Chain A
Amino acid sequence: MRILFKHLDVPDIDDMDVYIREGGYKALEKALKEMSPDGVIQAVTKSGLRGRGGAGFPTGKKWAFIPKDPSLKKYLCCNADESEPGTFKDRELIVRNPHQLIEGMAICCYAIGSERAFIYIRGEYIEPARKMEQAIAKASNRGFLGERILGTDFNLQIQVYRGAGAYICGEESALLNSLEGIRGEPRLRPPFPAIKGLYESPTVINNVETLANVPHIVLNGGEWFASIGTEKSTGTKVVSMSGHVNNPGNYEVDMGTPVREIIFEHAGGILGGKRLKAYVPGGSSVPMLTEKHLDVGLDFESMLAAGSMLGSAGFMVMNEDTCIVRATLNMARFYAHESCGKCTPCREGTSWMVEMLESIEEGTGKMGYIDRLVDIANNINGRSFCALGDASAMPVLSSIEHFRDEYETHVSERGCPFAGDRGFALRGG
């Protein structure tokens, strides 16, 4: 089923007039005129919508944490940093249909009592940022934003803020730091953002995709949304397909759709008719899976049961020619490069793992490095300040779990058996 992409075939849906013609901003009107803020939160809670940024926290619950005290200033921050490797769904959601996001943000702000919202957008997303700014200006002119929206006493201002390219700023509390103009580092919790977030005020931080779902939930009801997908993972998920597939791109599928269907039907199968070797289902921060796991459903619970996580649903597909050590090294380099340096295990451990992986890939590694990598990864995981450290351990632990023999071959043959192959490369790899 297509919810977020349902207007994808409508030409110029990014144009506000077209969006309105297709039923846009009806949900905002309904929320403002027919529903109480609590009613909106109840609908979202009933829908079972869970955060699409990766952690899957129930959205209605998050909104309900915001204190009702009207004397407190509240903020919404839309997380459009989209810095997770292999993930590019938010970019498309913004560029193709910016008003859907604006409408979702406006409804959220109405529900939590916020009059000021920010979109923290990845620095490299120049076009989406521009698009968003134009859309906000148009929506403001038309009275969907600004003072006394749609004749009610609800006011809202949305501001686009461009990040400067640090992965850590996608972490919600580091995002708040960055937005406040200070060093992008995660904050100590508690206090949680719902109590003390942006400028020490109650703050909701939601992913683009999460917020884009909200108008549809308001319009069609929570029950309708809850009927899509699985019992605990409701609705649809936009999957970013990249790597060795014939048709890379974004696909919206119902939660619970088997991976096999996504890779082989939606994405057109493995490039060059090769065999699948491994895939990462949720951005590089989740454990990789193998062809044994093709019948796993794409939802929070099934992925967890299979030993991975749904994450951002940024799929990275690797075929049989991929050197798994090199692929892991690329991901490890990414984390070492992006570690903010605040905590010891992540700062020191990520670079140590890179050193060992480099040695193994170059043929100077020792057999003992393999267990040492597992040990170091296990000592970063769960002991770091934030999830970046945990994430850095996942590619290392899962690749050794599934492909230990390949690591051993690298060591015993003193080099990469996939000579000449450029392998699987992330940015800068």
Chain B
Amino acid sequence: MADEVNLTIDGRQITVPKGTLVIEAAKKLGIEIPIFCYHPKMEPVGACRQCLVEIEGFPKPQVSCSTRVADGMVVRTNTPEVKQMWEIVLEFLLINHPLDCPVCDRGGECPLQDNTFRYGPPDSRFEHEKRHFEKPVALSSLVVLDRERCILCFRCVRFQREIADQPDIQVFNRGYGDYIGIFPGRPFDSNFSGNTIELCPVGALLSSVFRFRARPWEMTSTESICPNCGVGCNIRVNARNFRRVVRYLSRDNPEVDGGWLCDRGRFDSTFINDPERLTKPLVRRNGELREATWEEALEAAVDGMKAAGLRAAGIGSANRTNEQNYLFQKFMRLVIGTNNIDYTMEPMAPGGTDALVAGLTSGFFSGSIRDVASSDVIVSFGSDISQELPVLDLWIKKAVRKNGSKLIFAYPLRAELAKYASSFLPYSYGKEAGFAAGLAAAFVGKAPEQAGGLSGDEIESAAKILSEAKIVALLVSRSVIESAPDGMETYRALESLVGTLEARGARVQVMLLVDGANTQGGMDVGLLPGYYPGYRKIDESSCSEIAELWGAEPPPEPGLTGWDVVREARNGGVLALWVMGQDPARDLVRAKEIAEALGKLDFLVVQDYFLTETARMANVVLPSCTFAETKGTFTNTERRVQRINQAIYPMSDSDSDTDIILKAAFTAGAQFEYGRIESIFEEIARVVPQYGGLTFDSIGPFGRQWEVRR
């Protein structure tokens, strides 16, 4: 076949696709070639010269990282000459590399150490003074650089240029004086700077969070999911003594993160072992929060909630697991006896949640992160992705810069992605429905004069791009459907747009963008006042269906939304509230109104890691565990159910949210029995149709998407 190439490496035949790099062909044969500058996700540069091999017909040795295979090529990596070349490059790299491995963070997981161990010279012939630089240099508050250790592979510079497209760091000076640095007065403030630390093959780029914290061999590594946003990047949680989380590393999930993490996620590991963590339950006595036993606290909590009768409510969390949220809503519905349950206190527009649920259950929102890579037009509507879902921003940049995909970026502000957009559409806040309708109309040749605060020309230019599209990835922020006005109209307009596109032969994948690590899962498992788990709209038949599944009847009427609770609390409509894993009193937009409402409550229970603003107002505070201390699942923005695993023991007397709810249920005399976290997931899979067939094991290390086929 013309697209395949046969070659021989060390006497062994292999057939690989045309264009394959020699080093990748060797890898397929299990032949190891040492590297430093080469990285499969970046353009080859051939700079470090570590991977030199002999290729018949070439007068000089060739770098296997940048030479592409050719038919009949004969490559040798096992000759004495090649071994000698590998040795000398290591000798060259080591002449100026300080031998401070005992105090280097990278010692023990250092490619320079490893390559030297396998291929390096036994000693050095260099008898002169090593190169010196002032060190360490802080490139930012997060990244520290030791220029003497740097071997100038330029991976960091290339990552920032090629992948992040934020070329904040550069090579300065020349030759022997080369060093990596930042521009005067401009810190390394990329959203993705931490990846350069992980890419660095020596201990030159260091994390200010991890530096001097642990030796690599004394850490455990636990597969988990970053709890910071809806992308759900796969991470490894590194911990010491099963007690202390010292850092997160990436764990390449090619469907989700491509091996990258954003700084917001990567460096947010210190809260886990923060000395301010709550370790004891607190109960308010004589106006003050005082330490109490779990029994006392839980009894007070249950009594306080029950005293409110039907006027109780609960708020779950977008960063607690499916298991925790599922148990929470079940507890609220069956034990406290209310459907006043939500995942947020954000005000929703009338019908917004119904539109969202319609999109999720009809399979309208069935797209994947990967679709971004394979589409020729990407439409992003309503999200500042670079801030809200940072690693998705990398997927979009790659599609635009490498694949030539076109981006239509609809967002009220000139956010970072606007500069990658072929069409930037800054519609007016609150006019989402008008904008969506205008775009749909323009696409069928009925461009309005203006829509959503945009001119007809602007809308038409976007429609023109869409009209040439073959594969479209439409990314729709949850907020434009659920909380912006007229969400149902927006949703209908998008449906019509997609319908027209498909009728014209384009393939369209629509993905809902949610910002919390488990916003999606929270909704799936029932953190909605109008829906039972699995988006069962609350009515007589769904009530009896759930009653059968649970063996007990949930309240039959729809409950209050989180924002309704805020309003009702002010006039006595809600008397008691249980908040799990959220701090609404510090809401970015409505902190004052919410705090005021919380102040009016008779009774407030807060379940959290810290004594938050909300917890300070509580009658009972229950110390809970972070994601690193528990086990469970998160469901990300592409509806991928992913596992988190327990990395460390719970802090002191804190308990996992599932255990807290189970104990509370027990205190209230309810029969909630689950042997293990897996048992809760098994029940979710039975109760939530979207999760049907999934098991904790079948999810696997990289997760499984739930899908509704259209």
- Set B44, B60, B89: member contacting A344, Cβ < 8 A: B89
* Residue pair A340, B174 in contact (C-beta under 8 Å): yes
Q: Mark A310-343, 1 if CB is under 8 A from B, else 0.
A: 0000000000000000000000000011111111
Q: Give complex CA distance A340, B178 in Å.
A: 8
B175 surroundings in chain A (CB, below 8 A): 336-341, 346-347, 350-351
* Residue pair B176, A344 in contact (C-beta under 8 Å): no
Q: Give complex CA distance A350, B178 in Å.
A: 13
Query: Is B485 among interface residues, defined by CB-CB distance under 8 A?
Result: no
Query: Is A372 among interface residues, defined by CB-CB distance under 8 A?
Result: yes
Q: Mark B175-206, 1 if CB is under 8 A from A, else 0.
A: 11110000000000000000000000000000
A338 surroundings in chain B (CB, below 8 A): 174-175
B60 surroundings in chain A (CB, below 8 A): 382-383
Q: Which of B50, B61, B177 has the most CB of A within 10 A?
A: B177
Q: Within the complex, what minimum Cβ distance (angstroms) separates A386 from chain B?
A: 10
* Residue pair B126, A341 in contact (C-beta under 8 Å): no
The answer to whether A372 and B125 touch (CB under 8 A), given A341-B177, A344-B48, A383-B49, is yes
Query: Is B45 among interface residues, defined by CB-CB distance under 8 A?
Result: yes
Q: Give complex CA distance A216, B88 in Å.
A: 49
B46 surroundings in chain A (CB, below 8 A): 188, 343, 385
Q: Give complex CA distance A351, B170 in Å.
A: 22
Q: Mark A343-381, 1 if CB is under 8 A from B, else 0.
A: 111111111100110010000000000001000000100
- Set B48, B59, B174: member contacting A166, Cβ < 8 A: B174
A341 surroundings in chain B (CB, below 8 A): 152, 171, 173-178
* Residue pair A384, B49 in contact (C-beta under 8 Å): yes
Q: Give complex CA distance A343, B48 in Å.
A: 5
Residue ID in chain A nearest B151 by CB atoms: A344
Query: Is B85 among interface residues, defined by CB-CB distance under 8 A?
Result: yes
Query: Is A183 among interface residues, defined by CB-CB distance under 8 A?
Result: yes
B49 surroundings in chain A (CB, below 8 A): 343-345, 383-385
B170 surroundings in chain A (CB, below 8 A): 183
The answer to whether A339 and B176 touch (CB under 8 A), given A352-B95, A383-B52, A383-B85, is yes
A345 surroundings in chain B (CB, below 8 A): 49, 88-89, 92
Query: Is B47 among interface residues, defined by CB-CB distance under 8 A?
Result: yes
Q: Within the complex, what minimum Cβ distance (angstroms) separates B659 from chain A?
A: 55
Q: Within the complex, what minimum Cβ distance (angstroms) separates B201 from chain A?
A: 12
Query: Is B128 among interface residues, defined by CB-CB distance under 8 A?
Result: yes
Q: Give complex CA distance A383, B61 in Å.
A: 7
* Residue pair B176, A351 in contact (C-beta under 8 Å): yes
Q: Mark B126-156, 1 if CB is under 8 A from A, else 0.
A: 1010000000000000000000000110100
Q: Within the complex, what minimum Cβ distance (angstroms) separates A265 from chain B?
A: 37
A166 surroundings in chain B (CB, below 8 A): 174
Residues of B in contact (CB 8 Å), total 33
Q: Within the complex, what minimum Cβ distance (angstroms) separates A56 from chain B?
A: 16
Query: Is B358 among interface residues, defined by CB-CB distance under 8 A?
Result: no
The secondary structure that dominates the A interface is helix
Which of chain B's residues 26-46 have a Cβ closer than 8 Å to chain A?
44-46
A344 surroundings in chain B (CB, below 8 A): 47-50, 89, 92-93, 151-152
Q: Within the complex, what minimum Cβ distance (angstroms) separates A355 from chain B?
A: 4
Which of chain A's residues 27-41 have a Cβ closer than 8 Å to chain B?
none
- Set B44, B45, B85, B176: member contacting A350, Cβ < 8 A: B176
Query: Is B386 among interface residues, defined by CB-CB distance under 8 A?
Result: no
Q: Give complex CA distance A346, B46 in Å.
A: 13
Query: Is B455 among interface residues, defined by CB-CB distance under 8 A?
Result: no
Q: Mark B58-70, 1 if CB is under 8 A from A, else 0.
A: 0111000010000
Query: Is B253 among interface residues, defined by CB-CB distance under 8 A?
Result: no
* Residue pair B126, A352 in contact (C-beta under 8 Å): yes
Residue ID in chain A nearest B68 by CB atoms: A190
Residue ID in chain A nearest B171 by CB atoms: A183
- Set B61, B128, B178: member contacting A347, Cβ < 8 A: B178
A379 surroundings in chain B (CB, below 8 A): 85, 88, 92
B695 surroundings in chain A (CB, below 8 A): none
B89 surroundings in chain A (CB, below 8 A): 344-345, 383
Q: Give complex CA distance A180, B412 in Å.
A: 36
A355 surroundings in chain B (CB, below 8 A): 128
B113 surroundings in chain A (CB, below 8 A): none
Q: Mark B382-398, 1 if CB is under 8 A from A, else 0.
A: 00000000000000000
Q: Give complex CA distance A348, B517 in Å.
A: 47
B177 surroundings in chain A (CB, below 8 A): 341
Q: Give complex CA distance A165, B309 in Å.
A: 83
Q: Give complex CA distance A183, B161 in Å.
A: 13
Q: Mark B108-134, 1 if CB is under 8 A from A, else 0.
A: 000000000000000001101000000
Of all A-B residue pairs in the complex, the 4 with the closest CB atoms, nearest first, are A341-B178, A339-B175, A348-B92, A355-B128
Q: A351-B176, A379-B92 are in contact. List 16 more A-B contacts (CB 8 A).
A: A188-B66, A337-B175, A339-B174, A339-B176, A342-B154, A343-B48, A343-B49, A344-B50, A344-B151, A348-B93, A349-B92, A350-B175, A383-B49, A383-B88, A385-B46, A385-B49
B residues in contact (CB < 8 Å) with A: 44-50, 52, 59-61, 66, 85, 88-89, 92-93, 95-96, 125-126, 128, 151-152, 154, 170-171, 173-178
28 A-B Cβ contacts within 8 A?
A166-B174, A183-B171, A336-B175, A339-B174, A339-B175, A339-B176, A340-B174, A341-B152, A341-B174, A342-B154, A343-B48, A344-B48, A344-B89, A344-B92, A344-B93, A344-B151, A345-B49, A345-B89, A348-B176, A352-B95, A372-B125, A379-B85, A379-B92, A383-B49, A383-B61, A383-B85, A383-B88, A383-B89
